[in-house]
Amino acid sequence: MITALCPGSYDPVTNGHVDVIRRAASIFDRIVVGVIRDPLHKRTLFSVEERVAFLEGALGELDNVVVDVFSELVVDFARKHSAQTMVKGLRVISDFEWEFQMNHLNRLLAPEIETVYVMASPLFSFVSSSGVKEIASFGGKVDELVPKAVARRFAELYPDGRPGAPVSPQE
């Protein structure tokens, strides 16, 4: 049985993430979606509990996918789940540059774990979590870019479509 790890911050999960994970689930026997608890390179908008719930809701019908949280080196987390492979999605050239560096570091730390890259579907190649957050914060429609639960949460966070706008008391 081949286990693959799909690590990320998923802040929030987008339909592009879901697409890559679904495609990986059709290739590998078991997928562990690893949600990094507190990424060092960015502050998250959503709590780790929300990010996990969004992923579980979007991927719930996939029997070979589990979601787990990690706060250690990604290769140590992969070993903990006996993952032989990490799956990463690629959208644009800048993704490749970042992943190229990470691949070399991860191979240095864990040469037994291979990384496989899945190209984003053209429909989602422009979608990023940071872009989605910015659109939603200004009241833009993100329903086609993220799972329904994420879109609903954005509507709760930004009812007036302004960053930092207070949430109305009935929420």
- Going residue by residue through the chain (171 aa), what tens digit of pLDDT does each one get? 999 999 999 999 999 999 999 999 999 999 999 999 998 888 999 999 999 999 999 999 999 999 999 999 999 999 999 999 999 999 887 788 889 999 999 999 999 999 999 999 999 989 999 999 999 999 899 999 999 999 999 999 998 766 555 444 444
At 161 the three-state DSSP class reads coil
List 23, 80, 81, 91, catalytic entry:
91
d(CA 102, CA 118): 15
Q: CA angle, corner 4, sides to 19 and 112, nearest 5?
A: 140
Q: What is the pLDDT of residue 147?
A: 97
List 9, 51, 88, 129, catalytic entry:
129
Q: Does 104 qualify as catalytic in the annotation?
A: no
Q: What is the pLDDT of residue 164?
A: 57
List 42, 104, 148, 152, catalytic entry:
42
Taking a C-beta distance cutoff of 8 angstroms, is the pair 21, 89 a contact?
Answer: no
169 cis-preceded (ω within 30 degrees of 0):
no
At 7 the three-state DSSP class reads strand
For 102-141, give the DSSP string: HHHHHHHH-TT-EEEEEEPPGGGTT--HHHHHHHHHTT--
Sign of CA dihedral 11, 13, 17, 21: positive
d(CA 1, CA 69): 22
Q: Does 91 qualify as catalytic in the annotation?
A: yes
Q: What is the pLDDT of residue 170?
A: 44
Residue 5's Cα: distance from chain center in Å?
A: 12
Q: Does 162 qualify as catalytic in the annotation?
A: no
List 9, 17, 88, 153, catalytic entry:
17
Q: What is the pLDDT of residue 40?
A: 86
At 79 the three-state DSSP class reads helix
Q: How many residues are listed for the chain in this entry?
A: 171
Taking the model in full, what pTM does it have? Answer: 0.90
In degrees to the nearest 10, what's the CA dihedral of 147, 49, 128, 22? -60
Q: What is the pLDDT of residue 114?
A: 97
Q: CA angle, corner 48, sides to 168 and 3, nearest 5?
A: 145
Q: Does 17 qualify as catalytic in the annotation?
A: yes
Q: What is the pLDDT of residue 159?
A: 84
Domains, the chain, ranges and CATH? 3-125 (3.40.50.620)
d(CA 55, CA 150): 10
